[in-house]
Structure 1
């Protein structure tokens, strides 16, 4: 995928219908909410929108992408048609400029190579943002819902199926991740499960292998163990008291297959989660069904780091 899309990671905002139930400024997808606005009544639950709650993990940040639905796909197709119409309108001028340039170079004695002829625009080569990136949402590290000993983030989203991309400019979970559903009018609580549930030791990196060797050597030498930097935190699904009148449900994670590396960062995958996600070499396994997920053809800026 073209690098021009990489800088848009985590910044895609899509407007939704304004609910008559919203107070003050209407909420919109990819909008963070602060606890003070909920406590003051400035923000109330909009039954037409969904919400993602992340918590218990300090100064975190990350990005989710939404599985495109029919409405998103229709809007994307219309954008492609509009972009094609504009490109076709400019194409004759581009050809004239190219012909004039080549003719001038030939007359000046330049034997080439000459500029390549502009490619005729088609629906498949016009540039629009990729379909998968249209409903991206991000959270953190600023605009926290709660601060202090326990940090949380509450983000407004369109209802739908979302999958975990990872942290911007950090490894992308392109080779295997998890997805979950966000329903209208409901706060879907992820707590710290994206960090607490993955079993790192089942999918160890080179650094983890070296740490394990070092820990074993210390144990043999009778030395006290150090804190394991790769140990997963305890699961924390705490819901702030300020959301007690909102409908809050724990996210139900499901395996999600491979996807394109739109951010042009190092490629990785989410560590296995028992009962949810595992791998058979480079194939993603849905542990809920025992089935292997398809291996799609990917367009990536980086080589996989498995």
Structure 2
């Protein structure tokens, strides 16, 4: 199982700009050479009054990892006397189990349903993001916190400088009963409800014959080139699920994600 660090999802919630992400409400006339862009369409299903939204994670670089580990070590050592005092049956949390508010640069963020290029049954969203590799990490009904992670299988993709990467359409809904979104058929079932709702997520990659609106046609756009992400550990999620199977790309065998493009 992979360990993919989300640097303080709580901290990035307080200030989404801390992840270096800008959600655009109009298409730029020119793209920045030192930034990358993610284009997606999102469903508008709700839980109560709140629209369900996708959560992304950027895989941190070595310098960011080192900064995070250094800060975590310092915070753990400072908190250790109190942790030892409060420990039951001498079960003191290890540094791996320890959580803290990281004040450094965040690498996870919510794609808000409130900021979009076009509205409708699917909302078109354009994100200006740091260059790197991203994972469709999970979903939330809040602006600041991961609720359900795609810990049991998902996809990732790389974004390049000065280019819009089109990842297609992302569908999110509650999955303890039948969803009106047919893309979530493989995520359904009454067992998906316990003390709270578990969200399911599906991705439909962009079609080869996609027609872009006029305000995007002059900009460089490439389809996302996905890779399958194996199971990973995310202690901050309220619930876990998997991204729904994607025809010709993502499947599951004995519960584990497999790349359908790779012959066994």
By how many angstroms is 1:6 displaced? 6.5
* Counterpart among 181, 205, 218 of residue 245 in structure 1: 218
By how many angstroms is 1:65 displaced? 0.9
Structure of higher CA gyration radius: 1
- SS of the residue corresponding to residue 264 of structure 1 reads coil
Aligned positions of 1:130-149 closer than 5 A: 134-147=106-119
- SS of the residue corresponding to residue 134 of structure 2 reads strand
By how many angstroms is 1:153 displaced? 0.8
**Partner residue of 1:54?**
40
* Counterpart among 14, 24, 43 of residue 33 in structure 1: 24
| Residue 57 to residue 246, structure 1, CA distance change in 2 (3 Å) | same
Rounded to whole Å, the distance in 2 between the matches of 1:263 and 1:120 is 19
TM-score, normalised to structure 2, is 0.65
| Residue 234 to residue 200, structure 1, CA distance change in 2 (3 Å) | same
**Partner residue of 1:175?**
152
The alignment's C-alpha RMSD in Å is 4.4
Q: Which runs of 5+ in 2 are unaligned?
A: 1-7, 45-50, 142-146, 173-181, 191-201
| Residue 115 to residue 67, structure 1, CA distance change in 2 (3 Å) | closer
| Residue 159 to residue 274, structure 1, CA distance change in 2 (3 Å) | same
**Partner residue of 1:256?**
229
* Counterpart among 128, 144, 168 of residue 191 in structure 1: 168
By how many angstroms is 1:138 displaced? 1.8
| Residue 6 to residue 247, structure 1, CA distance change in 2 (3 Å) | closer
Q: Which has the higher strand share?
A: 2
| Residue 246 to residue 60, structure 1, CA distance change in 2 (3 Å) | farther
**Partner residue of 1:206?**
189
Aligned residues: 224
State yes or no: 1:80 paired with 2:66: no
Rounded to whole Å, the distance in 2 between the matches of 1:115 and 1:140 is 38
**Partner residue of 1:20?**
none
**Partner residue of 1:23?**
none
| Residue 136 to residue 119, structure 1, CA distance change in 2 (3 Å) | same
- SS of the residue corresponding to residue 161 of structure 1 reads strand
| Residue 148 to residue 285, structure 1, CA distance change in 2 (3 Å) | closer
By how many angstroms is 1:146 displaced? 2.5
Q: Which runs of 5+ in 1 are unaligned?
A: 16-27, 99-113, 208-230, 292-306
Aligned positions of 1:7-18 closer than 5 A: 7=10, 13=16
Rounded to whole Å, the distance in 2 between the matches of 1:262 and 1:126 is 10
**Partner residue of 1:111?**
none
Contact persistence 1:200–1:232 (CA under 8 A) = no
By how many angstroms is 1:13 displaced? 4.2
